[in-house]
Structure 1
């Protein structure tokens, strides 16, 4: 995967990037916003593919305003480029396979398999881009994976009848890992708002086709359903994915993918607070293991 070089005056000016501290805060904020998505998907009274489409489509107006504000501030207006297209396609694949896995296996299995994304981020960084992976990063990955397993461990089931669903969950991790690299490369030539808006438009178009083909209805039937979808678009996608794009303009993709493990911690806490799902000591220990893994793997 290579980053295309735009011609014209904008190519000479690099897109704005955040300081390391601001990027880290943006990444943590993005993980927090993404963490509430499973609860919102459950509250939306449409099918999983329809909710995925609305998540992206309803975020577009906010992302467009953000992009226009960047343009007014003098940010470069790079052409759409291959990394942006791939980011949109990879994220569409991520949501498609994640929702397929939810339909064909247990939520615990799909959640855990989706958290394998950092493995693929690391493998692509090492095998394709030739990056050196430090022992601290591998140790942090181990702690995060162990913590993710502990968060859902009591509910993980091994069942041959759900093997296809488990494979869909594993595919989710692959696509999200590829998405991270596409966004990281795209941020070399695109400001965060422009990249997020353009890639989201591509994702929304793909998911609209999928939802029309596979869902019996696209529109929610209640006000609460619309509010859940609006929160998915505004909070989970516009804020969550937008902040991740900001962070990837500064931070390494490998480390950033580990911080996204915080999403699983937030999801468990939000389910406890909103849906009354109990937290066990094992899950608390898993959350602490994830935080320890992030601390171990942090860039020096």
Structure 2
């Protein structure tokens, strides 16, 4: 193998693994936040705009050009991923406070199944028997996961349901981005999606949150870590890796995120994981990986 190609592949795999680990920390930070889940979601995307705008300024200076939407239709297309992202963050952040971190993270990671179903419904992409079998296995794993929670683990049916809704929204986010990637750069789509998500989340924050402004330096530190470390760096690393590696490698992040989140929640938040929950989690992941083969 070409040494430079091997080195690039190794760097990309490292970026994928690191990105998955970094994003897996986000539910812990959401739980530790001194603000409510909706306000935390707002600051997550709003503060992420600062490094993204700086990145845009440096990029424009270096290239001497800037990507801009040419029509109202382009503006709507660029804003749509942000609307989906807002729905994902709103439902997922609330679910983290209603169920265990492990459950919320695991159930949110069934998004690839919704991506395939959405692609079939919207774009008529083929769905194979292998995918349907994997979907059935994942659904069975979810049932076992909730059975394990009922037998002693920390869970809540409403929280688990919201995590599933978050997965559907995240699938919509991925599909909307997929439609844009042939026309706009990663920076442009990430900047527009973050900005439109912040605009969409703002009214929900005003209505449902008694406190919007972070009260302490600790609160600011948690929000900055969530925005700059998880949202900008984590997403950026994974996007970089998936541009250079086969799509099948994305399944690696599905394995890393629930495991890391459950481990950190056990250490920092003292969240127990029952044996039945662990078995259900393994079955869900196995179903996702099997479905992706189809």
Q: What's the TM-score, normalizing by structure 2?
A: 0.74
The corresponding residue for 2:223 is 229
* Partner Cα separation in structure 1 for residue 36 and residue 96 of structure 2: 11
**Counterparts of 1:233-252 in structure 2 under 5 Å?**
233-247=227-241, 249=243
* Residue 176 (structure 1) aligned to one of 158, 170, 173: 170
Q: Is the 8 A contact 2:47 2:227 kept in 1?
A: yes
The corresponding residue for 2:5 is none
The answer as to 2:262 corresponding to 1:273 is no
The corresponding residue for 2:90 is 96
**Counterparts of 1:62-141 in structure 2 under 5 Å?**
62-72=51-61, 74=63, 77-80=66-69, 81=74, 82-102=76-96, 105-107=98-100, 111=105, 113-134=107-128
* Partner Cα separation in structure 2 for residue 83 and residue 153 of structure 1: 41
Question: Is 254-263 or 120-129 further displaced after alignment?
Answer: 254-263
The corresponding residue for 1:15 is none
The corresponding residue for 2:37 is 48
Question: Is 135-144 or 48-57 further displaced after alignment?
Answer: 135-144
| Aligned-CA RMSD value | 3.8
Deviation at 1:266, TM superposition (A): 1.9
* Partner Cα separation in structure 2 for residue 75 and residue 97 of structure 1: 40
Deviation at 1:151, TM superposition (A): 6.4
Deviation at 1:127, TM superposition (A): 2.5
The corresponding residue for 1:34 is 23
Deviation at 1:130, TM superposition (A): 2.6
Deviation at 1:253, TM superposition (A): 7.6
* Residue 57 (structure 1) aligned to one of 46, 51, 76: 46
* Residue 258 (structure 2) aligned to one of 256, 264, 269: 264
Q: Is the 8 A contact 1:31 1:263 kept in 2?
A: yes
Question: Is 283-292 or 193-202 further displaced after alignment?
Answer: 283-292
Deviation at 1:277, TM superposition (A): 3.2
Deviation at 1:100, TM superposition (A): 4.2
**Counterparts of 1:199-218 in structure 2 under 5 Å?**
199-218=193-212
Q: Is the 8 A contact 1:148 1:286 kept in 2?
A: yes
- Structure 1: gaps spanning 5 or more residues: 1-18
Change (3 A) 1:205 1:76: same
- Structure 2: gaps spanning 5 or more residues: 1-7
Instruction: Work out the number of aligned pairs and report it.
Output: 277
* Partner Cα separation in structure 1 for residue 87 and residue 219 of structure 2: 24
DSSP 3-state at the match of 2:214: coil
Deviation at 1:142, TM superposition (A): 5.9
Deviation at 1:102, TM superposition (A): 5.0
* Partner Cα separation in structure 1 for residue 240 and residue 291 of structure 2: 20
* Partner Cα separation in structure 1 for residue 141 and residue 60 of structure 2: 41
Deviation at 1:259, TM superposition (A): 3.9
Deviation at 1:183, TM superposition (A): 1.6
Question: Is 50-59 or 181-190 further displaced after alignment?
Answer: 181-190
Q: What's the TM-score, normalizing by structure 1?
A: 0.73
* Partner Cα separation in structure 1 for residue 23 and residue 61 of structure 2: 28
Deviation at 1:114, TM superposition (A): 3.1
* Partner Cα separation in structure 1 for residue 284 and residue 271 of structure 2: 20
Answer 1 or 2: which has greater helix percent.
Answer: 2
